[in-house]
Amino acid sequence: MTPDQITAAGNSLYSAETARIQRGLLSAEFPDATMDDAYAIQSAFVARKQAAGRKTIGWKIGLTSRAMQQQLNIETPDSGVLLDDMAFANGATVPANRFIAPRIEAEIAFVMKAPLSGAVTRDQVLAATDYVTPALEILDTRIVRANAGKTRTIIDTISDNAANAGILWGSAKHPPNVDLRWVGAIVSRDGVVEETGLGAGVLNDPVTGLVWLAARMAQYGQRIEPGQIILSGSFIRAIECPSGCRIAADFGTFGSLTCQFE
């Protein structure tokens, strides 16, 4: 893709988010686009938001489950940027006009105390982590899921900032060297259990996601910074969040989170 095409695609995603509408598949519009192109579009999209005053607070890792990778015919996760206007307090009410078609996922978040970049080990990730905490990620898509017999590909997902839209986390703080593979959650919508899962669903160990992220970011001259929050990936399927619903995530002794959608 040309620089002008990349900029235009990023602008179209910004416009779609602002207008609360979805645009067509970028993968159909640019069938030869590469993952590098997609990350460039994501950067152009995020740059528009930063130009409007938004600040980076962290990163999200997506497509960490085997099922989702098989669905998109890939063997790698993807990543997106977390911005300050995406943060919601535990127990928050999400305004009705905020998102297009929100969904929610349960995750383990890492809050960093030291930078990470390039080829790092699991032990280095743990040493750079201040604490881990339960989190909910709100997903939204500025790109349609399917159109004219074609469905979203990894190009669409990455370009669309890995479908990120919001994040909630609470006050619980845990040392990162616990066995996160066995940290799980029971997630309910309006009192009905919709999904359950364990941290092992994230690349068999949520720490592995940060090892991957540090290496991916280095390819683009970026790094994980102290104070940033990293969403390590969902261990449940995304739950639709229609207007009026209430979400509750019980992580047991790890903590709990709730939110309401107007």
Could you read off the pLDDT of 123-151 as tens digits, one per residue? 999 999 999 999 999 999 999 988 888 88
Instruction: Evaluate whether residue 19 is within a structural domain.
Output: no
| Strands (DSSP E) found in 7-153 | 56-62, 78-83, 87-89, 93-94, 103-112, 129-139, 146-147, 150-151
DSSP state of 95: P
- Of all residues in the chain, the percent with pLDDT exceeding 90 is 90
Span 155-197, pLDDT tens digits: 999 999 999 999 999 899 999 999 999 999 999 999 999 999 9
Instruction: Evaluate whether residue 49 is within a structural domain.
Output: no
Instruction: Evaluate whether residue 69 is within a structural domain.
Output: yes
Mean pLDDT, the chain, as a whole number? 95
- Tokens coding 198: 């364990």
Instruction: Evaluate whether residue 15 is within a structural domain.
Output: no
Span 32-54, pLDDT tens digits: 999 999 999 999 999 999 999 99
Q: What is the pLDDT of residue 148?
A: 85
**214 pLDDT band (50/70/90 cuts)?**
very high
**71 pLDDT band (50/70/90 cuts)?**
low
For residues 210-214, average pLDDT: 96
**Domain count across the chain:** 1
Q: What is the C-alpha separation between 85 and 79, in angstroms, rounded?
A: 18
Domain of residue 139, residue span: 55-261
Give 14's Cβ-side CA count (13 Å radius).
19
Q: 74 — phi, psi (to 5°)?
A: -130, 170
pTM for this model (two decimals): 0.95
Q: What is the pLDDT of residue 145?
A: 86
**65 pLDDT band (50/70/90 cuts)?**
confident
pLDDT over threshold 70, residue 67: no
More confident residue, 148 or 240: 240
Q: What is the C-alpha separation between 242 and 54, in angstroms, rounded?
A: 27
For residues 238-251, average pLDDT: 97
**76 pLDDT band (50/70/90 cuts)?**
confident
Instruction: Evaluate whether residue 21 is within a structural domain.
Output: no
Q: 61 — phi, psi (to 5°)?
A: -110, 130
Q: What is the pLDDT of residue 74?
A: 76
The CATH number assigned to the domain holding 77 equals 3.90.850.10
Q: What is the pLDDT of residue 202?
A: 93
Instruction: Evaluate whether residue 46 is within a structural domain.
Output: no
Q: What is the pLDDT of residue 125?
A: 98
- Of all residues in the chain, the percent with pLDDT exceeding 70 is 98
Q: What is the C-alpha separation between 122 and 94, in angstroms, rounded?
A: 35
Instruction: Evaluate whether residue 186 is within a structural domain.
Output: yes
Contact 239, 104 (CB under 8 A): yes
Q: What is the pLDDT of residue 149?
A: 85
For residues 66-82, average pLDDT: 81
Least confident range from 11-25, 62-76, 144-158, 174-188: namely 62-76
Instruction: Evaluate whether residue 216 is within a structural domain.
Output: yes
Q: What is the pLDDT of residue 105?
A: 95
Q: What is the C-alpha separation between 164 and 111, in angstroms, rounded?
A: 18
Contact 233, 77 (CB under 8 A): yes
- Tokens coding 88: 């919601």
